[in-house]
Structure formats: structure tokens, C-alpha cells
Chains A and B, each alone.
Chain A
Amino acid sequence: MNTQIDTVKLFTDYIYKVEKSKQFPTITRDAKISSLGIDSLGMMEIIGCFEDDLGIVIPDDKLATIQTVGDIEKVIMGQMASKLSN
């Protein structure tokens, strides 16, 4: 079972999908979302992209814990794991 997901690459794809006309700094795992220049509305859409492509649902209370791109990965892995165990 391979649950490796390249969160950084996906995030980069999504951010340009959501904000077509903007330029963003290079995305890294440690990148703080608040410093990227994408607001929570854009961020929500990115989360929506992850949900759709990975077939998971990220609960609202988990959203509040996300600060970096790496945090998204943690949350996603958690959800994937609980999905697989169900």
C-alpha cells in the first residue's frame, strides 16, 4: 500500500489553479501559509482540491490546526489512514 503523496507538488498545482493571475514564492513544506499571499478563501479552495483528488473529507476542526504546507500533509495522512482502516 503506497500512501506517499507529494503534498508540495499538489499544493503548488492547486495554488496556481485557484489564483491563476498571481505569482507565488516557491512552495516548501515549511512554508507558512499566511506568508504566501493566499487568503483563507483561496486556502479553502485548495483544501477542496485535495479533498476531491484524494477522496477524503477534512473535518472543520482540523482546519484550525493548519499553519504550514507540512501541516496539510499531516492532516491528509491522518484522514487517509482513518479512511483505509474503515
Chain B
Amino acid sequence: METLVDILRTRALTDPDGIAYIFLKGSEECKITYAQLDLEARRVAKLLEGQGSSALICHLPGLEYIYSFFGCLYAGVIAIPIYPPRFNQKLDRLSAIVSEIDVKCALISQSVLENVKPLLSEQPNLSQVKFIKTDLPHSLTANDLPFLQPEITGQSLAFLQFTSGSTSQPKGVMLTHANLINNLQAIHEKFESSKDSVGVIWLPPYHDMGLIGGILQPLYIGFPIFLMSPYSFLQRPMRWLQAVSQYKATISGAPNFAFDLCTKRITDEQAATLDLSSWKLAFCGAETVHAHVLENFYQKFKVAGFKKEAFYPCYGLAEATLIVSGGVKDKAVIVESFDATAIESQGRAVKSSVDLKSSRSYVGCGTAPKKYSIKIVDPITLKSLPDGAVGEIWFTGPSVAQGYWGRSEESERTFKAKIAGDSETNYLRTGDLGFLQGDELFVAGRIKDLLIIRGRNLYPQDIEKSVGESHPGLVSGTSAAFSIEFQGEEKLVVVQELDRRDAKPELLQEKSTEFIELIRKKIFEDHDLPVHAIALVKSHSIPITSSGKVQRQATRRLFLDNALPELRRFQEGVQVSS
């Protein structure tokens, strides 16, 4: 089987009445069989005739999302899942993607279209987009909609995965059917899933883990999957675990923060009502996995029969389709203590005893699947590094994506990197730092300027843009946004330079209060993100490169060392002081 279309077609022909997906809406179970999914996909494919070579998917999580996605594949059209607009946010993200891709149509539901309609006129380039409602009632049958084989092969693009909701640099990762099928096989190999598996997933389908892990993987193997909206989970984390309990799920997972949220929000009494003994594989990825988060979760839910060996830390990224490494099923999580100072400043992983002050626990993220290889590489010399040395994580294998849409230079650099002394093999540069102990991968940080907060990827450029727009007195290019770790969670920090006029002692108090308030507000409105700390610093104190670019990592280092000439600092939960 070469394409995802082949896979769904085979399921529909060999097991037409098999349940493909069950979407949970409150207490309601909305089901769709393989034959129904196949029919709906054919119907959507027909709607897409003559609408161009790609289509946005603007649905909220639900069955209409899934059949619209397959409808694109059936039509041989590149699907573009997007983050749906929330809380009346502006459509600038959608608009940025449309400018990037030049897409002509969008699949949407009636109710979402009602919500976005009043906002469409604010973005002129959205007038080129035809919105096609795919959830209108119909009485079409298989006879009305003959299956038409699209002209695609394994090498055809299936969809573009946008790695964030970035407006300044939306990067669409190009994934072919072959990329996907290879990664689905790798996940299968690692997760040891089978037809007897049962899944529960609340992850958003516009995110790689939700779409590939939650929707495509069950189809590939042929096991039932219970899906729910991420909003359902966030409203009541208990709903996730109740679904695992009720449906006796064997596979379910989420980013680190979700396990933490369950531990914090669910009471001991509630935990005791659950039966989590069926849960064989609790995968945890998409952001740094913390040992204490897993341990606290285990302590809370062992009363419900949750097994510690079920934890399954893994590492992956959209540029590699999804999975890069994962542990061994049913085996205890590997947690090792290393000297954090040696990792950060000497680039070496040195084991240390837990009671040392500089000691930190790192969770092993497993090994590469067969047919794939992970190398640790010096990001400057591009030389392969030995065991225990910290460097950039490089990855090679058949599911490394084709590149970023329309960004050939950046794609060449990121997806076709060569290790010194090996001109044959193309590697993906992940931008993450890590080290190997034998084959076991430990992730130790990041070189790329990316923030990952609660599993969400954010580009600092977007945040700095908002900071610059928050007040006319702030000049763009005079701020740096980065993340730091605070109580086991990644948090946003903004450093902003102040003009000398505003920094005068008699004005400082008033001006800085105003700036801090407006920066927080603007970041909130634009990115739905609380700011952990804002440091207002003297002008020209943020380090820049010779070409004038803000050096975020260097600024971060100075911030952590308290070495910036700070005029005032705001910190979440701490009284503002100057």
C-alpha cells in the first residue's frame, strides 16, 4: 500500500461496517464506519473538483474534520490543517498561511463559517478563498458517488503541517504519503500496537501528534479510537481519564503538561473512581518530559490501577513527520541524573548523584526506530560527536519531510544537512540539543529560537512583533522573547530595552508600569499566553549579532545570570518593583 487513500479504500472494502472513529461529544458517541468515511471522503473530493491543488481545513475537531481531510486525499489535493480561530481572534494567522501557499479554497462547517464571516473583510487576501461547507445534510449514496482514483503515488504530497500558528513565518512542512506511511510503520513498531489496541485521544487534529498519532495511526493498524475535543479535556481533565477508564483504552497520550494538569486538577476521590489498569502505553511527547511530572501522576493514579511501566516518553517533530525516538513498551522509564552545569557549559553529560545541587533528572526518550538513525552533531563544526557529548540532534530515515513549502534555502539547510566526512547521507537538523547514552536519546535543550509552551510551538519573532506593537514608544527590534524553565514548566520571558527618555528616574516608575501592562495585554490578546517575566533594560543592552539581529539565547543567559542592566522587572506572582 503506497498511499493513505489505498489504506482507507482497503479498510472500506474489506471491513465496511468496522467502526473507524468514535467522537465523544458530552455523553454522546458519534460513530463513523470505514464505508461511511469512504463515502464522505468521495463526496468531499467531488466538492473539491476544480478548486485548485490545495485546500485549508478549518473544521473544529470532529468527524467532519476527519472526512474532510480524507476528502482532500481522495481528490489528490494537498490538505492544509490549520489552527481554528479562537475567542474571536483575528484571522491574521489564516491570512498569513493564505499568502504563503496561495490556496484557493477552505473546507469549513456551517457554524464555524458563521463565526468567522464578520472577520473575513479585515483580511483582504481572504477574499480569494472559497469557503466550502462540508457538513450540510445530504442523501447521497455510494451509487451517486463512484470512487475516482486520484493520480497520486507515494511521492505525492499528502498534507502540509504547519508547525505553529506563526504569522511572521508560517512554515508548512511538506509530507508525502510515503513519509507518512513510513512514520506510521515506525510508530507501530515502537508502540507495538495491534488490531486489539483501543485508543483515546483528545489531541487537536491540526497538530501532528493528534492527526498522525490520533487519526492516521488507528486507521493504519485498524484499531478503534475514541476521540474528543481538546476543549473537552481542558475544561475537565478528568474527562480524558474517564474515557480511558470507560472504554478500557490501551493506548493514549499527550504532552507533559496534560499529565501535570490531571495530577493537579483531579482529586484523590475522583482518581479512586477510575480504572486505568487497561492502559498499556501512556505516550508523552511534543515537549520536554519531566520525571517528577510522571512520578506525581503515578502516585495519584496508582489507586486506579495505573501502571508505572505504561509511561512511554518519546521525541519527535513535524519535520520528521512525527516520531524520532521512543522507548521499549512495558519497560520502566529511564531517568538519569546528570550535572546540569556540565551539560550547559561544557557540553558533556556527566552522571551525578541526585543530592548534588547542580544535578538534574533527565528522562530518556528511547531509541530510533529501525531504518532510522540519530546522530549527535556539533552544530558549528558539523562533526559527529561521541557518546555523552551534548550537541544538536540529527535524524535520518524515510520519514524526514520534503522541506518547508516555498522555502528552498531554509529547507536545504534544515533537511539536507551533511555530517563532516559523510557527503552521502542527508540529515534533518532538529534544532534541539541532546546526547546519547548508548542508543538512548536524552533531550537537553534547544538551539533554535523556538518556545514550546504546553505543547504549543511559538516563534519569538511573533511575540517580539506584538511587544513592538503594544505601545508606540517601543521600537521594534529592541526586545527579545525566549523561554526559561520555572517549576518544571517552560515559561515566556520578554526583555525590552527602554529609550533613555523613558528611563529617566522621575519618569521610570510611571512609564515602566504602563509598558509592562501593555506588553502583557498585547501578548495575551495575540498569543493567548501569560508572560512569566518582563525585564525592562537600558537601551543597547540586548546582545545583537554583527548584522544587527537580536541574540535571544545570549540574552536568555544574561537574564538567568542576572547580568542585564535591568531598570525594572515584572515577574508573575511577584509584586512589581523597580
Are A39 and B530 neighbours in the complex by a CB distance under 8 Å? yes
Tell whether A61 pairs with B109 under 8 Å between CB atoms, given A22-B573, A44-B231, A52-B236: yes
Are A21 and B573 neighbours in the complex by a CB distance under 8 Å? yes
Are B60 and A60 neighbours in the complex by a CB distance under 8 Å? yes
Q: Chain A residues with Cβ under 8 A from B84's Cβ? A: 64
Known: A39-B529, A65-B88. 7 other contacts (CB 8 A): A34-B525, A35-B525, A48-B236, A60-B61, A61-B109, A63-B231, A64-B88
Interface size class of A (residues with CB under 8 A): 20 to 34
Most B Cβ at <10 Å: residue of A41, A51, A52: A41
Interface size class of B (residues with CB under 8 A): 20 to 34
Are B115 and A35 neighbours in the complex by a CB distance under 8 Å? no
Q: What's the minimum C-beta distance from A20 to chain B, rounded to whole angstroms?
A: 10
Q: Chain A residues with Cβ under 8 A from B163's Cβ? A: none
Are A65 and B234 neighbours in the complex by a CB distance under 8 Å? no
Q: Chain A residues with Cβ under 8 A from B521's Cβ? A: 34-35
B52-79, CB < 8 A from A: 60-62
A73 at interface by CB-CB < 8 Å? no
State A45–B239 Cα separation when bound (angstroms). Answer: 12
A85 at interface by CB-CB < 8 Å? no
A22-54, CB < 8 A from B: 22, 33-35, 37, 39-41, 43-45, 47-48, 51-52
Are A45 and B112 neighbours in the complex by a CB distance under 8 Å? no
Q: Chain B residues with Cβ under 8 A from A35's Cβ? A: 521, 524-525
Instruction: Flag B504-529 by CB within 8 Å of A: 1 or 0 each.
Output: 00000000000000001100110011
State A63–B229 Cα separation when bound (angstroms). Answer: 12
Are A64 and B85 neighbours in the complex by a CB distance under 8 Å? yes
Are A39 and B235 neighbours in the complex by a CB distance under 8 Å? no
Are B88 and A67 neighbours in the complex by a CB distance under 8 Å? yes
Are A41 and B234 neighbours in the complex by a CB distance under 8 Å? yes
A57 at interface by CB-CB < 8 Å? yes
B1-42, CB < 8 A from A: 25-26
Secondary structure class of chain B's binding surface, majority of residues: loop
Within 8 Å by CB of A61, from B111, B454, B524, B573, lies: B111
Within 8 Å by CB of B87, from A34, A37, A52, A61, lies: A34
Q: List 8 A-B contacts (CB under 8 A).
A: A34-B525, A45-B236, A48-B236, A57-B25, A60-B61, A60-B231, A63-B86, A64-B85
A66 at interface by CB-CB < 8 Å? yes
State A61–B110 Cα separation when bound (angstroms). Answer: 10
Are A64 and B86 neighbours in the complex by a CB distance under 8 Å? yes
Are A41 and B525 neighbours in the complex by a CB distance under 8 Å? no
Q: Chain B residues with Cβ under 8 A from A44's Cβ? A: 231, 234-235
Nearest 8 CB-CB pairs, A to B?
A48-B235, A44-B234, A61-B111, A57-B26, A48-B236, A34-B525, A60-B60, A64-B115
Tell whether A40 pairs with B26 under 8 Å between CB atoms, given A21-B573, A35-B521: no
State A71–B325 Cα separation when bound (angstroms). Answer: 45
Q: Chain A residues with Cβ under 8 A from B112's Cβ? A: 61, 64
Are B235 and A60 neighbours in the complex by a CB distance under 8 Å? no
Are B573 and A40 neighbours in the complex by a CB distance under 8 Å? no
State A60–B30 Cα separation when bound (angstroms). Answer: 15
Q: Chain A residues with Cβ under 8 A from B111's Cβ? A: 59, 61
Q: What's the minimum C-beta distance from B86 to chain A, rounded to whole angstroms?
A: 6
B471 at interface by CB-CB < 8 Å? no
Q: Chain A residues with Cβ under 8 A from B557's Cβ? A: none
Are A39 and B231 neighbours in the complex by a CB distance under 8 Å? no
Are B528 and A40 neighbours in the complex by a CB distance under 8 Å? yes
State A63–B486 Cα separation when bound (angstroms). Answer: 30
How many inter-chain residue pairs (CB < 8 Å) link A and B?
A: 72
Q: Chain B residues with Cβ under 8 A from A66's Cβ? A: 87-88
Residue of B nearest to A49 (CB): B235
Are A39 and B88 neighbours in the complex by a CB distance under 8 Å? no
Q: What's the minimum C-beta distance from B249 to chain A, rounded to whole angstroms?
A: 21
Q: What's the minimum C-beta distance from A24 to chain B, rounded to whole angstroms?
A: 12
State A34–B466 Cα separation when bound (angstroms). Answer: 14
Are B235 and A45 neighbours in the complex by a CB distance under 8 Å? yes
Q: Chain A residues with Cβ under 8 A from B525's Cβ? A: 34-35
Tell whether A39 pairs with B528 under 8 Å between CB atoms, given A60-B60, A63-B87, A64-B85: yes
B549 at interface by CB-CB < 8 Å? no
Q: Chain A residues with Cβ under 8 A from B25's Cβ? A: 57, 59
Q: Chain A residues with Cβ under 8 A from B413's Cβ? A: none
Q: What's the minimum C-beta distance from A86 to chain B, rounded to whole angstroms?
A: 13
B265 at interface by CB-CB < 8 Å? yes
State A10–B238 Cα separation when bound (angstroms). Answer: 21
Q: What's the minimum C-beta distance from A19 to chain B, rounded to whole angstroms?
A: 10
State A60–B368 Cα separation when bound (angstroms). Answer: 37
Tell whether A41 pairs with B236 under 8 Å between CB atoms, given A34-B525, A60-B231: no
Q: Chain A residues with Cβ under 8 A from B572's Cβ? A: 22
Q: What's the minimum C-beta distance from A63 to chain B, rounded to whole angstroms?
A: 6
Tell whether A41 pairs with B573 under 8 Å between CB atoms, given A33-B87, A52-B236, A66-B87: no
Residue of A nearest to B573 (CB): A21
Most A Cβ at <10 Å: residue of B235, B265, B454: B235
Residue of A nearest to B231 (CB): A60
Q: What's the minimum C-beta distance from B181 to chain A, rounded to whole angstroms?
A: 31
Q: What's the minimum C-beta distance from B458 to chain A, rounded to whole angstroms?
A: 13
Residue of A nearest to B239 (CB): A48
Are A64 and B61 neighbours in the complex by a CB distance under 8 Å? no
Q: Chain B residues with Cβ under 8 A from A52's Cβ? A: 236
Are A34 and B524 neighbours in the complex by a CB distance under 8 Å? yes
Are A51 and B115 neighbours in the complex by a CB distance under 8 Å? no
State A67–B89 Cα separation when bound (angstroms). Answer: 9
Residue of A nearest to B265 (CB): A45
State A33–B525 Cα separation when bound (angstroms). Answer: 9
Most A Cβ at <10 Å: residue of B61, B87, B236, B265: B87
Residue of B nearest to A66 (CB): B87
Q: Chain B residues with Cβ under 8 A from A41's Cβ? A: 234, 261, 454
